[in-house]
Amino acid sequence: MRLPRLLKTSSFRLTVLYSGLFGLSVLILFVIIYLSTAGYMSRQFDEAVNAELAELRSEAEGGGLSGLAAAVKERVARASTGSYYLLRDASGRILAGNLSGVPPVIGFFSDPQATEGDGAGEPHGLRGRGIRVAGGADLIVARDSFQLEEMRELIARAFLWSGLTTVVLAVVGGAVMSAGLLRRVETVSRTSRAIIDGNLAQRVPLRGADDEFDLQRSSP
């Protein structure tokens, strides 16, 4: 059976149409899940940063910049990998912290290539928040956002491959169904031509499926 003829059948065109609609539905579902999941993870990330900022200010309460610097140094000393701190006075001089090269920032920020990265040298993203403290100094708490970025990429890859697989299977299934339907139509056409040519003993063969072809054949 020639492929161009198969591609022109109504059943195959309907299959392509429904595959496109289904693919669009999968895309919309992906956007909703991606935004919901990524948004939830970002909020959790930001809440952890806010909590640590509040703890630092509480630990340094009453001690001024020197007390805050001591608290930051203590956090740096016992910080896990991926935690970053920076205390900088109003003149831009670094008083404490393990983060450099970050411009003054107030509020939440995200830098996709801020940290040094892993052993392979690939830079990781940084997400954090900066606040203004006593004396015009800046206090920044940030975290390596590698896991957050990896989770986003994982969700995107999962939906991409599942969507492509679904569409391909739908198209292939539609082609198989169209080929079967086209064979039945050709059988009916051959039988009809034979009857028109005078061979009245010819009949359309039944498949026992009770489909529209069998019902049409068995009807009076």
What global pTM score does this model have? 0.58
Give the residue-averaged pLDDT of 107-136: 71
Domain count, the chain: 1
Nearest-10 crossing angle of helices 64-77, 10-59: 130
For the cut 50, the answer to whether the pLDDT of residue 168 exceeds it is yes
Residue 173 lies in a domain: no
Residue 13 lies in a domain: no
For the cut 60, the answer to whether the pLDDT of residue 86 exceeds it is yes
Q: What range does the domain containing 102 cover?
A: 45-145
Strand order across the beta sheet in which 107-111 lies: 94-97, 83-88, 138-144, 126-132, 107-111
Q: Give the domain CATH number at 73.
A: 3.30.450
pLDDT digits (tens, 9 = 90+) for 192-202: 777 777 776 66
| DSSP reduced 3-state for 61 | coil
Residue 41: the pLDDT is 84
For the cut 80, the answer to whether the pLDDT of residue 184 exceeds it is no
Residue 60 lies in a domain: yes
Alpha-carbon span 32 to 44, nearest angstrom: 18
Residue 11 lies in a domain: no
Q: Determine what percent of the chain is predicted with pLDDT higher than 90.
A: 2
Residue 139 lies in a domain: yes
- Find the DSSP H helices in the chain: 3-7, 10-59, 64-77, 146-196, 212-218
List Cα–Cα distances, 213 to 3, 35, 113, in angstroms: 24, 48, 64
